[in-house]
Amino acid sequence: GQQLNQSPQSMFIQEGEDVSMNCTSSSIFNTWLWYKQDPGEGPVLLIALYKAGELTSNGRLTAQFGITRKDSFLNISASIPSDVGIYFCAGRSTLGRLYFGRGTQLTVWP
Amino acid sequence: KAGVTQTPRYLIKTRGQQVTLSCSPISGHRSVSWYQQTPGQGLQFLFEYFSETQRNKGNFPGRFSGRQFSNSRSEMNVSTLELGDSALYLCASTSVAGANTGELFFGEGSRLTVL
């Protein structure tokens, strides 16, 4: 099935640094979502984007729905140790199917 | 309200055996989806059920099957297990509104190891 191109695959950063990750697709999506998975847990929804160009924040997290509807990015500002986990992007196609990226593994050093 | 509950959390099987995993969605959610998560492939969609009917199916062999009961609880079954079936199996439920936006609520998963 279709897979989104999510990058980077992994990041090792120091506490306090900003983080940026993105997702691209060859197809148009109606919705972009960002999930975070803590170790031993299921993914949890962080941000949902519904309109091209939309920029949405959730605390230190900011995500944007690309104007072409084929990409999205997630920024985390001033990272803290509890930001550690796997971040997944997901896109919902015009036919209603949901596709996930392969995830970005984030490690934050104190 | 209680989240999505998956059982068992961990299990070990041997090749050729079969396994059944269970998922109880959030109360009021009628849509249940199943995903397979492996380090190399990320989250792969298995199937989605709504009101006891399979609404979507991913690209998995027929050894993978599922069903949904009238109380929205769902089970998935994998027969003739192979080593490559070792993975975290995640169940997610969504409300009617969430089904239109893709907002899923995931359980903690069932980690299957096939020896």
pLDDT at position A5, please? Answer: 94
pLDDT at position A93, please? Answer: 85
Average pLDDT over chain B, rounded to an integer? 93
What is the distance between the alpha carbons of residues A36 and A43, in angstroms, rounded to a whole number?
A: 5
pLDDT at position B96, please? Answer: 80
pLDDT at position A94, please? Answer: 82
Mutation to test the A interface, candidates B29, B43, B103, most A Cβ within 10 Å: B43
CA-wise closest residue to B107 among A45, A88, A43, A89 = A43
Of A66 and B41, the one with more pLDDT: A66
Distance from CA of A34 to the nearest CA of B (A): 10
pLDDT at position B1, please? Answer: 56
DSSP category for residue B26: P
Contacts of B103 in chain A (CB under 8 A): 33, 45, 48
> Per-residue pLDDT averaged across B72-77, rounded?
97
> Per-residue pLDDT averaged across B28-49, rounded?
91
% helix, strand, coil for chain B, step of 5: 10, 50, 40
Q: What is the pLDDT along chain A (110 residues), one digit of tens a residue?
A: 566 899 999 999 999 999 999 999 999 999 999 999 998 899 999 999 999 999 999 999 999 999 999 999 999 999 999 999 999 999 998 887 889 999 999 999 98
- Which of B7-16, B28-37, B38-47 is least confident? B38-47
pLDDT at position A1, please? Answer: 53
What is the distance between the alpha carbons of residues A7 and B44, in angstroms, rounded to a whole number?
A: 18
pLDDT at position B70, please? Answer: 96
Task: Count CA atoms closer than 13 A to A46's CA, side-chain side.
Answer: 27
> How many residues can be counted in chain B?
115
Distance from CA of A31 to the nearest CA of B (A): 7
Distance from CA of B31 to the nearest CA of A (A): 13
> Per-residue pLDDT averaged across B57-72, rounded?
95
